[in-house]
Amino acid sequence: MLARRHDPIVAIATAPGRGAVGIVRVSGQQLVGFVRQLLGRDLQPRQAHYLPFNDGQGQPLDHGLALFFPGPHSYTGEDVLELQAHGGPVVLQLLLQRCLEVAQTVAPEGLPVLPHLRLAEPGEFTQRAFFNDKIDLAQAEAIADLIDASTAVAARSASRSLSGAFSQEISVLRDALIHLRMLVEATLDFPEEEIDFLQKADAWGQLHTLQGQLAQVLARTQQGALLREGIKVVIAGQPNAGKSSLLNALAGAELAIVTPIAGTTRDKVQETIQINGVPLHVIDTAGLRQSSDEVERIGIARAWEEIAQADAVLFLHDLTRSNAPEYEAADADIATVLAQKLPKNVPVLHIWNKEDIANTATAVPEATAGLRLSAKHGQGLDALRQRLLEIAGWQSAPEGLYIARARHVQALQATGEHLAQAHALLQTADPALDLLAEELRLAQHHLGAITGEFTSDDLLGVIFSSFCIGK
């Protein structure tokens, strides 16, 4: 895609399927002649024109609106033509094909009207907006996040990122970092000067302030990334502890089959739920036990695979069997394996289920280390939802929260590591200024990767390939 980014492109810009309106979008340099050949007339910039869209024999394919946006005052920064027709798949495909045909029509000067016009690849319109300095990389990603937003909180946060709220915070950090680099490199360039530039300019104080600002931005970015990415929560435990019932209760729908028969769940069942706008990817797994059934053994193996990749595990216990020696021993064995398979930073929340009938048990453990609930009747579910938000690290949504991605968090963390190295160098009696300058340069490099100032072509390809075609 990067190698052909100067070719004119065309695509259907609306979602597949039937709808009231569908849009075909063309972007490229100098589209005026193409527009005239396609529509039989010139268009006034940024004005809607109602007219027929004709085929090669002059017969209307459809009637609709045509809008022309001359560059650089357009979405991509190039000339952009939008044809708004009825939203039938066949109609839009005919318009798309017509655009490609007209592009190869020979103009009076003997050349094609629009050479090299081709179908756009995923995200290519937005990629051109990025290359033409209409938006930065963080804003480009926010466009995809706004389209994919599944909650009102996520949509508003993506809109703030698109408007440049996140980019502005990165810009403030970058400007402060550039100023600090200037001081250090000036000292390197003029070592014979008697004035200690770094001490006079309070370089240590500036760096300390910059680290504090970075920490605040990182905290908000982590919240924004959580809002977008969510966390993976796996429900684990012995058969018939109520795992499927708990998934159904959290999802508010009958997703998993629930029966009194042990081993009913043979494979994972996954559902994404929203709690205060935060997505949680909850996975119900097969009951953990020794089994001679080959299918069940495969399901149990898959359960352990999911557990090993979890961000949090809900270890479900059955209160009605809590005093049975065999049950307690099996729970202890599961706990031992969990401790072996899970990284130390992955929390395990103990859930004691069947509170509604627990009074029939001869002994009920004090569940001080977990939560008691009834997945069947909903008792204790609100407390569980709140605990899941705490595990995820979610705080009440701050005003002005912007959406972010895991790569943004990683870039800010890398920036912080280099600033910490720079801080350590400045605290020495005779700082190695060349090393200090390099740490600051690397910090700026990671910061610039967020907005696209320093970004590899490979990363750009990965980012934009996840967009829908026509955007």
pLDDT in tens, 289-315: 777 677 777 888 888 888 888 889 999
The answer on whether 262 is annotated among ligand-binding residues is yes
Q: What tokens were used for 161?
A: 């990122």
Find out whether 198 and 187 touch, Cβ atoms under 8 Å. yes
Average pLDDT over residues 208-226: 91
Q: For 2-134, which CATH class?
A: alpha beta
Which of 104-118, 148-162, 173-187, 437-451 is most confident? Answer: 437-451
The answer on whether 456 is annotated among ligand-binding residues is no
Say yes or no to pLDDT of 251 above 50: yes
Question: Can you name the residues that pair with 27 across neighbouring β-strands?
Answer: 9, 80
Question: Can you name the residues that pair with 353 across neighbouring β-strands?
Answer: 318
Find out whether 307 and 236 touch, Cβ atoms under 8 Å. yes
The answer on whether 368 is annotated among ligand-binding residues is no
The answer on whether 272 is annotated among ligand-binding residues is no
The answer on whether 58 is annotated among ligand-binding residues is no
The answer on whether 14 is annotated among ligand-binding residues is no
Task: Indicate the Cα dihedral angle 343, 349, 353, 355, nearest 10°.
Answer: 160
Q: Where are the domains of the chain?
A: 2-134, 159-226+405-452, 237-392
d(CA 51, CA 19): 20
Say yes or no to pLDDT of 45 above 90: yes
The answer on whether 134 is annotated among ligand-binding residues is yes
Average pLDDT over residues 414-427: 92
Q: Which residues contact 12 (CB under 8 A, 6 or more apart)?
A: 22, 23, 24, 25, 92, 93, 96, 469, 470
pLDDT for res 23: 96
d(CA 308, CA 234): 9
The answer on whether 98 is annotated among ligand-binding residues is no
Cis peptide before 60 (omega within 30 of 0): no
Tell how far CA 13 is from the center of its chain: 21
pLDDT for res 372: 86
The answer on whether 328 is annotated among ligand-binding residues is no
Considering only CA atoms, which of 96, 45, 93 is closest in space to residue 72? 45
- Residue 407: what residue type? R
The yes-or-no answer to whether 2-134 and 237-392 have a common fold is no
Residue with the bigger pLDDT between 392 and 129: it is 129
Three-state secondary structure call for residue 315: strand
Considering only CA atoms, which of 316, 315, 321, 313 is closest in space to residue 365? 321
The answer on whether 244 is annotated among ligand-binding residues is yes
The answer on whether 284 is annotated among ligand-binding residues is yes
Across the chain, what does the average pLDDT equal? Answer: 85
Residue with the bigger pLDDT between 201 and 275: it is 275
pLDDT for res 241: 85
pLDDT for res 398: 60
The answer on whether 263 is annotated among ligand-binding residues is yes
The answer on whether 209 is annotated among ligand-binding residues is no
Residue with the bigger pLDDT between 272 and 25: it is 25
Residue with the bigger pLDDT between 65 and 430: it is 65
* Of 22-31, 148-157, 285-294, 301-310, the least confident: 285-294
The answer on whether 200 is annotated among ligand-binding residues is no
d(CA 338, CA 372): 21
Q: Give percent above pLDDT 70 in the chain.
A: 89
Average pLDDT over residues 237-246: 86
CATH number of the domain at 159-226+405-452, out of 1.10.10.350, 1.20.120.430, 3.40.190.290, 1.10.10.10?
1.20.120.430
Residue with the bigger pLDDT between 152 and 130: it is 130
d(CA 167, CA 411): 13
Q: Helices 137-148 and 433-451 meet at what angle, rounded to 10?
A: 40
pLDDT per position as a tens digit, 331-373:
888 888 888 888 888 888 998 888 877 665 444 455 446 788 8
Distances (CA, A) of 108 to 37, 40, 339, 454: 11, 15, 76, 44
* Of 29-33, 261-265, 397-401, the least confident: 261-265
The answer on whether 220 is annotated among ligand-binding residues is no
The answer on whether 471 is annotated among ligand-binding residues is yes
Residue with the bigger pLDDT between 470 and 346: it is 346
pLDDT for res 240: 85
The answer on whether 285 is annotated among ligand-binding residues is yes
CATH 3.40.50.300 is the classification of domain 237-392: yes
Residue with the bigger pLDDT between 357 and 166: it is 166
